[in-house]
Amino acid sequence: MKKKLVVLTGAGISAESGIKTFRDSDGLWEGHDVMEVATPEGWYKNQELVLDFYNKRRQQLKEVNPNLGHIILAELEKDFDVYIITQNVDDLHERAGSTKVLHLHGELLKVRSIQNKNLILDWTEDLNTGDFDANGHQLRPHIVWFGEEVPALEEAIDITETADYFAVIGTSLQVYPAAGLISYVPSTTPVFYIDPKPISIPNIRNKVETIAKFASEGVADLREKLKSI
């Protein structure tokens, strides 16, 4: 039976494909105040702005490709039972070939009804005012905005609790509740932390091996380390 490798990925792995990190150093996301484009309040204040913002992100996604980090993680399925829990809303893990991907913060290529959060549709083109579900309710981006619950969190915790190996790639571990997953890793499970500017992980019981590199190079190192265990 293959050992289970659980991987938590963040914006850092997508950044190498050309997708800007969620929040730049100036506190903006693609030039926008996140409170204007990533909150329910922003949606009700200016729906057109929010729709336009995600339409541009959706179009940008068509112009980028998975990088070596995504590809190596997919290839690791040959030797491990790999589960990827990602904070990213892009589909680069899937396009690289990963088969078990859980999106904590939603997916850019899906939309949902404002009336029924369980009515989720695949969506690859622009989403506009007047795009309704079958019952006449406006569709919105299938994104978990600030202030909204994270529906996939319980499943992510269940996956994390069964990890034989756990890797953190390209995330600052500052965004909760995703960052809190580290506390559910079994105490005997080795943790690999890949980030060019790693921080200290507070209150962790596990043995942590830090790889202070960008995602692609760091994942290549991770592959070699897992082979030697």
Q: Which residues are catalytic?
A: 105
Query: What is the CA 173 to chain-centroid distance, rounded?
Result: 12
Beta bridge partners of 111: 121, 141
Contacts of 127 (CB under 8 A, 6+ apart): 51, 54, 55, 58, 111, 139, 140, 141
State the Cα–Cα distance between residues 228 and 208, nearest whole angstrom.
16
> Judging by DSSP bridges, how do beta strands 28-29 and 101-103 pair with one another?
unpaired
Name the H helices within 16-170: 34-37, 40-45, 47-61, 68-75, 92-96, 153-160
AA letter at 7 = V
Burial class (CB in 10 A: 0-12, 13-18, 19+), 26: exposed
Beta strands at 106-113 and 139-143: parallel, antiparallel or unpaired? antiparallel
* Cβ-based neighbours of 161, under 8 Å, separated by 6 or more: 184, 185, 186
Kindly calculate the radius of gyration of the chain based on its CA atoms and give it in whole angstroms: 18
Residue type, 214: F
